[in-house]
Amino acid sequence: MILSEFSATISTMGVFFVMKRLKSYLIALGLIIIALLIIFLRQGVGFHIFGEYEKADQYTTGGGKISVPHWQGEPLEIVEATWTDGGADDGFATAGNWAPVVVPDETAVVVLPSMAGETVSVSIPADRPTVIRGLQLGSGAGTVRFTANSPLIVKEKVEIPANATVALNCFDTPNVVSNDVVIKSGGALTHDGLKKLNLVVTGNLTIEDGGAIDVNEKGYGPKDPVSYMPPSLFEPIDFGVQGDNTKYSGGVVKLEVTGTLTVNGSIDACGTGGGGGGWSGGGGSIWLTVGTLAGSGRLRAHPCKNPNYPAADGDWCKPGGRIAVYQRVATNWDAFSGTMNADGGKRNRADGGESPAGTIYLETAADQPRCGEVIIRSDHTIYGETLLPLAGDGDIETKTVYTGVKLTVDGANLGITNSAWAASVPHTMNIRDIDVQTSRAKVNLHGATLKVSETTHRGGRDWEGWTKSDKPAAYAKHVVEDGGAILWPTPGLLLFVK
């Protein structure tokens, strides 16, 4: 009896010790799992209820760093979120507007149907950064407008069909499509008034014939408070010069496309146009960084949105805008046969106040940074001066802002001066080369010295088949020195030593 009770007591104590040891093991295992989770999260590995992500890609832009996750495999479940407009407003973040009745998240393919004669308007609020899996616009015959006032990330391919408009209003942090984008004929990508468009596409972006990125008249209006940024031809992000009466200036487009940007339609950042009582707004800004630019369409940062700029639109116009295109893969421009236009308005009067051309900057993968070509082009007979250097391009007092740049003045009027230069300092600007094309093109030095490092067009050679020494009077029509000069390198001596 006593032996039996002793054995039972020993067995009970053994179970107690085993359970206590097992509890310690479980606590230790839990701590290890928590530590591993912390390590994974710090390394950027994401987890999902239906699957898992690979490590997120990091995109560093002017607005900071953003992460775009990619699926390691297809998720086990994809939610289709269909717009029903059953809520109290047109808010994306209102659950009652969706079927199922939940706000779409990163697993959702957002579907915005529109019946014939119907207009669907959906808006993401300014305080709600949003990630969705897909976006299907206008699965009917009506009109759809999708507006994002916060950064938007879409993982799948996006098509903007006819009668659909996407407005991206967040600029400081870019919007991202981690796939391809196609803008179909009749579809449009834009931003709202006094906002700016900033989009990163990790695949290709195609604008079909009749499709558009259209920020015409999205800049300053006659009564808007104006806050101009220091202008830059390398990184243009400012609205066009303010219009008056009912006239508006062009908006801002900034695109980064990893693959090919094919423009068979248009990218427009133009003003209202002059005439009809008041000056137009100026041309806006287009800044493209792409693998390759292709297509046969147009890029325009003109003060007149009508591409034919008839007399009614062409009179009383503000300056042209700025276009900058960087190719990170292509080493030439053979794939693009379209047009680029940052001209000033076509002025129909000869009583002063002419509209100067803007600037076009082109750089390929074969060029060193900021060593591409600056084109100042005008098809007008009367034109104002396009002034360089620009304060937004760097410290202009260093005289090295445009050292690697080739200047091409095509029918326009270039002025080498800047109000930021100290009046008592001799003005000097260094460039790589200068080419003056057409008989009406002119360079006004205003007493400045333009130092050219290459000899390709030394003394005006190949401008019109002569040099300064051949025809000094003809040279003087192109170059108004006013106490300044264009200085080319002196040809060196070749010595033969035996």
| pTM of the model as a whole | 0.84
Residue 33 forms beta bridges with which residues?
none
Low-confidence ranges of the chain (pLDDT < 70): 1-23, 25, 35-76, 139, 274-278, 307-316, 346-354, 381-383, 418-426, 492-498
What pLDDT does 355 receive?
A: 81
Let me know: does 321 contact 217? Beta carbons within 8 Å: no
Phi, psi of 393 (to 5 degrees): -95, 0
**pLDDT at residue 460, rounded to an integer:** 87
User: How far apart (Å, rounded) are the C-alpha atoms in residues 235 and 264?
Assistant: 24
What pLDDT sits at residue 308?
A: 62
pLDDT at 340: 97
Distance of CA 231 to the CA centre of its chain: 15
* pLDDT at residue 63, as a whole number: 43
Q: Given this model, what pLDDT does residue 72 score?
A: 47
Which residues, 6 or more positions from 214, have their beta carbon under 8 angstroms from its beta carbon? 188, 189, 190, 266, 268
- The per-residue pLDDT for range 441-488, each reduced to its tens digit, is 999 998 899 999 999 898 888 787 778 888 898 899 899 998 899 999
Enumerate residues 6+ apart whose C-beta is below 8 A from 264: 206, 207, 208, 209, 211, 295, 296, 297, 338
Q: Which residues pair with 165 in a beta bridge?
A: 145, 188
Per-residue pLDDT of 116-166, as tens digits, reads 889 999 999 999 999 999 999 986 789 999 999 999 999 999 999 999 999
Pairwise CA distance, residues 333 & 362, whole Å = 9
Burial label, 361 (beta-carbon count in 10 A; 0-12, 13-18, 19+): buried
Cα–chain center distance at 130: 20
Whether the Cβ atoms of residue 133 and residue 105 lie closer than 8 Å to each other: no
Burial class (CB in 10 A: 0-12, 13-18, 19+), 367: middle
